[in-house]
Amino acid sequence: MSSLSATIQDVFNEPGCGKNANKSEAERKKGCTKQLQPGGAAGGCAFDGAKIALQPLTDVAHLVHGPIACEGNSWDNRGARSSGSNIWRTGFTTDINETDVVFGGEKRLYKAVKEIIEKYNPPAVFVYQTCVPAMIGDDINAVCKAASQKFGKPVIPVNSPGFVGPKNLGNKLAGEALLEHVIGTEEPDFTTPYDLNIIGEYNLSGELWQVKPLLDELGIRILSCISGDGKYREVAYSHRARAAMMVCSKAMINVARKMEERYGIPFFEGSFYGIEDSSDSLREIARLLIERDAPDELMTRTEAVIAREEAKAWAAIEPYKPRFKGKKVLLITGGVKSWSVVAALQEAGLELVGTSVKKSTREDKERIKELMGQDAHMIDDMTPREMYKMMKDAKADIMLSGGKSQFVALKAGMPWLDINQERSHAYMGYVGMVKLVEEIDKALFNPMWEQLRRPAPWEDSAKNWQARAIAQMDAEAAALAADPVAAEQARRAKKICNCKTVDLGTIEDAIQTHGLTTTEEVKQHTNASGGCGFCSVRIDDILAARQASAAPVMQAAE
Amino acid sequence: MAIVTVGKKACAVNPLKMSQPIGGAFAFLGLRGSMPLLHGSQGCTSFGLTLFVRHFKEAVPLQTTAMSEVATVLGGYENVEQAILNIHKRTKPEIIGICSTGVTETKGDDVEGYIRLIRQKHPELAAFPMVYVATPDFKDAFQDGWEKTVARMVEVLVEVPKAAARRDPSRVNVLPGCHLTPGDLDEIRTIMEDFGLEPSFLPDLAGSLDGHIPDEFVPTTIGGIGVEEVAVMGQASWTIAIGAQMRRAAEAMEKRTGTPFRLFERLCGLSPNDEFLVFLSEISGRPVPLKYRRQRGQLADAMLDAHFHIGGRKLAIGAEPDLLFDLSSMLHEMGAKVTVAVTTTQSPVLERIKTEEVLIGDLEDLENLAKDRGCDLLITHSHGRQAAERLKIPFYRAGFPMFDRLGAGHQLSVGYRGTRDLIFDIANLVIADHEDNRQPTPDTWRTEGVGAAVDVPAASLH
């Protein structure tokens, strides 16, 4: 049995991750996870991440071994959809009590598995480890093994207690559990040259079904989706797929890469968000399948479907163009990391503001994506007041972001649309993009806003909180302008790297003192960009700006 | 008298219960400028936070000490210290409320000791209001976390009045249980103010989580009772505790300040509100205002109209003890039969519930028993939605969390008016269900053998 810490090290060593490959040996050991700040952290734990990744498997009983908090506070809270079984939505937990904490909870866990199998008879039981039983030393691997033998049914340990790290680590540990215990354990009834795995797609709001009809039409079979609307057996025989698409950024890159390594299944990273990305992904799927001996004509048919769907989508978006003319969107997203959402919104006539997204040439695409990711990252750290100022400065008409900024936007009278995972609408594929445009239209033109923005008749609009906040911030800015020393301090205090809390001044000093010229050197001296790595583009900017301003000085000195 | 039984299953299925620390954090959300802090792994906080946000549709402040595996084993002093310093610096709260969790209780962190050390080490925190409550996840439930936290707030934040201090006859403390909504608190406030009384609610969720447009940009709670107002609660003439869970806090208040208390176990229904208004009339020396005499008449009339629909209903209800007691008693008084009652934790009110057996269990128990006993009305929180779908009986959502419908914070059950509307809502559900699913057909009353369609020979017609 590989220990949990060994598995975590292994996950951190992911060669499929570009960011990781650029790290030094020592840094790789530290892992890719952001150091959590007590009193300043947000987001789920590793258990949460593991559950998110696996819970969409619809016919599996997901049993949480721990005190009531872990399952009682969180069950049935995901928007994934099932076309069949609903057992995944049933909350199972050992709800361990004080006695279990003192004497150990293994017996209770074993009995719990037995009860589930007797009452619900699912094809498999997944057992999730949590912090408390991990601390008291409950060996869930041993219990699962014993239960599996006794009941003749897969009982899969998912070793991802909350305190080992954040959500994204949990996603990967969930992947490891599938790799170790599930994938490759069964065989499909038949295979075809068109068998595809989709990895890291959770079918939230049923969005996979916005794309599936196209795959069906092309004769491409989703052999296994890990894990949206997936079934245990499909995952177990997923090693017989010809190709794989990995969605949802890097959440399950370890699964995609190790399946390539072990079973020779080539994969690509793609997305079905936006028109352009949808087309790219369909092409890429066809290309990989053809490489693995699917007939060449698949590409011709794929291109035909793409052409038809694109034309349909653009035609559906066309009527919105005049309505959207001059409307500005503040787009802050780390979730839907897709440039082609941006492209489609621009195509619909919306102007994007607030982020650094202006150009739409292909060369800028990667860079803009990273900047947008960084902006989304920064918003976690913003006070509501700053967030309001940002909306105001951007003169935006609508804000598209993740759930966290929702209440600030709405309460400031700003139309807002959720584009992260909690959203209730499905936005995938060509139809999804049209849906998104429709939703933006509905939010933008709701007549309610006009009334809500008017102050109460007995209120002085110059004294409402919006005005006060802006006045306060303006006053602060004016004070800074009048005081160059303080202004310089404030400028230097600007945080560049969130993960490692490194400010601009520290970076500038390091560049100055050590004559640094690359982001890598800056990282070595200051640790900036040593966390998630998103801010490396900002460090590039700082270096470029300094070189630009330094060059004439040097010439003058010569 | 009901027999209270505890479920014997090893595996809880579809939990009714939520954990104690978030019940504690919930209480801290009723203080102004407050930042609740869970001492545990970041997931302990994020699950609770998601629940609150989905229930109230509001930004909710809730922080974590973000315990890692190593910190958990070595002890969490540094994390608690850093968390407090960070929160104090960044969000400038007026109070930090700290609850422990399962992880840190398993290790046995001495958080009271930590706080003493932190106060010594950081002079700026020496007198800063902080309240700590021990709330391990592996014991008790949401309601218990609330109960302990409010009691602890009284012990820590309420000042002992000076011996000669005079009591203010118009000031009354209200200690509401966690089963009351912000809407309920506002209703109670209005009723009391109509008697010329000045109520102080501890905690006051109506101030912080009533879904208002904020007047201020702060990352802590906006609204709620201020620490300085809590400090002088000892000068009030009376304390009113609502729900049996609040006895502990009321006793703590009495012990500390000498303020006498009156416990109202229920405020839903006709007689409980009669008692409540008579009491308010007594302590205020004012007659019951005309407004409430009219409302009493309206409630009585609502009961008349609704008893046709509620009378005889077989109720399956799953809720925390005080809400269970309150709603089931009211419906029992309307002629419903409390056929299945499931709850989360022990309480002295359980054996007085008007049913044969109260089970400390989960929603699987509720669903199975409701099916076996042919229940035709289901009441529980939003997690009952799957059971309701399978049982195909009318489902009234009550309690926390209510994440799949809007207006959870404003749902009323207290007062004559609140009871009246609640009765209408439930009766309407029953009526709608009757219209949609239980329309009679020519075969509804036909039983096999009696009057069953048979070929009648033509000759016999003569």
B251 contact partners, CB below 8 Å, separation of at least 6: B261
Q: How far apart are CA B386 and CA B382, in angstroms?
A: 9
Return the DSSP state at B225: B
- Backbone conformation region of residue B398, classed left if phi is above 0, alpha if psi is from -120 to 50, else beta: beta
pLDDT at B455 over 80: no
A-chain residue closest to B401, CA distance: A73
**Which of B19, B50, B217 is the closest to A469 by Cβ?**
B217
Q: Write out chain B residues lying below 8 Å of A162, CB-based.
A: 41-44, 103
Within 347-406 of B, beta carbons closer than 8 Å to A belong to 383, 386, 403
Q: Give residue B64's identity as a one-letter amino acid code.
A: T
Residue A71 has pLDDT above 80, yes or no: yes
> Do B139 and A94 lie within an 8 Å CB cutoff?
no
Q: How far apart are CA B144 and CA A71, in angstroms?
A: 18
Across-strand partners of A62?
Answer: A126
* pLDDT average, residue stretch B22-29: 98
Q: How far apart are the first and last CA of chain A?
A: 67
- B58: contact with A, CB 8 A cutoff: yes
- Asked if B210 and B182 touch (Cβ cutoff 8 Å), the reply is yes
Residue given tokens 């620390």 in the structure block = B21
State how far Cα B138 lies from the chain centre: 20
CB B317, CB B340: distance < 8 Å: yes
The answer to whether residues B57 and B402 touch, using CB atoms and an 8 Å cutoff, is no
The predicted structure's pLDDT at residue A1? 41
Between helices B321-333 and B415-437, what is the axis angle to 10°? 70
| Interface ipTM above 0.85 | yes
Asked if residues B205 and B224 have their Cβ atoms less than 8 Å apart, the reply is: yes
Give the mean pLDDT of B126-152: 97
Partner-chain contact B10 A383, CB within 8 Å: no
The predicted-structure confidence for A369-378, as pLDDT tens digits, reads as follows 555 555 555 5
Inspect the interface and report whether the beta carbons of A163 and B87 lie closer than 8 Å.
no
A137 part of contact set with chain B, CB < 8 Å: no
A265 three-class SS: coil
Phi/psi for B30 (5° steps) reads -90, 10
- Partners of B138 on chain A (C-beta within 8 Å) are 67-68, 96-98, 100-101, 132
The residue written with tokens 């209005």 in the block is B190
Are the beta carbons of A525 and A516 closer than 8 angstroms? yes
The span from the CA of A226 to the CA of A134, in Å, is 26
List the structure tokens of B422.
Answer: 């609640």
pLDDT band at A177 (very low <50, low <70, confident <90, very high): very high
The C-alpha atoms of residue A368 and residue B387 are separated, in whole angstroms, by 47
Asked if the Cβ–Cβ distance from B18 to A41 is below 8 Å, we say: no
Rounded alpha-carbon distances, angstroms, from residue B130 to A147, B36, B175, B180:
47, 10, 20, 25
Give A407 to chain B, closest Cα distance, Å. Answer: 6
Distance, CA of A302 to CA of A100 (rounded, Å):
57
CB of A189 closer than 8 Å to CB of A411: no
In DSSP terms, A158 is beta-bridged to A128
Q: pLDDT tens for residues B268-296?
A: 999 999 999 999 999 999 999 999 999 99
CB contact (8 A) between residue B102 and residue A131: yes
Those residues with Cβ within 8 angstroms of residue B47's Cβ, 6 or more apart along the chain or in another chain: A44, A48, A69, A70, A73, A74, B22
Give the Cα separation of A428 and B436 in Å (integer): 35
Q: How many CA atoms lie within 13 A of B6 on its CB side?
A: 5
Q: According to the model, what pLDDT value does residue A375 have?
A: 57
Contact A469 B213 (CB under 8 A): no
- Condensed to tens digits (0 to 9), the pLDDT of residues A278-296 reads 999 999 999 999 999 999 9
**Nearest Cα residue to A278 out of A222, A328, A336:** A336
Q: DSSP assignment of A544-555, as one string?
A: HHHHHHHHHHHH
Backbone angles phi, psi at A158, to 5 degrees: -115, 100
Cβ atoms of A539 and A507 closer than 8 Å? yes
> Which residues of A are less than 8 Å from B84 in CB distance?
39
Query: Across chain A, how many H-helices and E-strands are there?
Result: 27, 14
User: A48-52, A313-317, A486-490, B336-340: lowest mean pLDDT where?
Assistant: A486-490
**Closest CB to A92 among B11, B18, B218:** B11
**Helix, strand or coil, per DSSP, at residue B316:** strand
The size of the A-B interface in CB pairs under 8 A is 210
CA dist A103 and A511 (Å) reads 57
The shortest CB-CB distance from B214 to any of A41, A93, A411 is to A411
Interface of A with B in 399-438 (CB under 8 A): 403, 406-408, 411
- CA–CA distance, A273 with A201 (Å, rounded to integer): 12
Lowest mean pLDDT among A28-37, B225-234, B283-292, B426-435: A28-37
If pLDDT is split at 50, 70 and 90, which confidence band does A380 have?
Answer: low
Q: Is the model's pLDDT at A383 over the cut of 50? A: yes
Instruction: Inspect the interface and report whether the beta carbons of A91 and B383 lie closer than 8 Å.
Output: yes
| Residue A69 contacts B, CB cutoff 8 Å | yes
Tokens representing residue B204 in the block:
């006051």
Element at A269 (helix H, strand E): strand A267-269
Which among A77, A76, A73, A136 is positioned nearest to A109, based on CA atoms?
A: A136
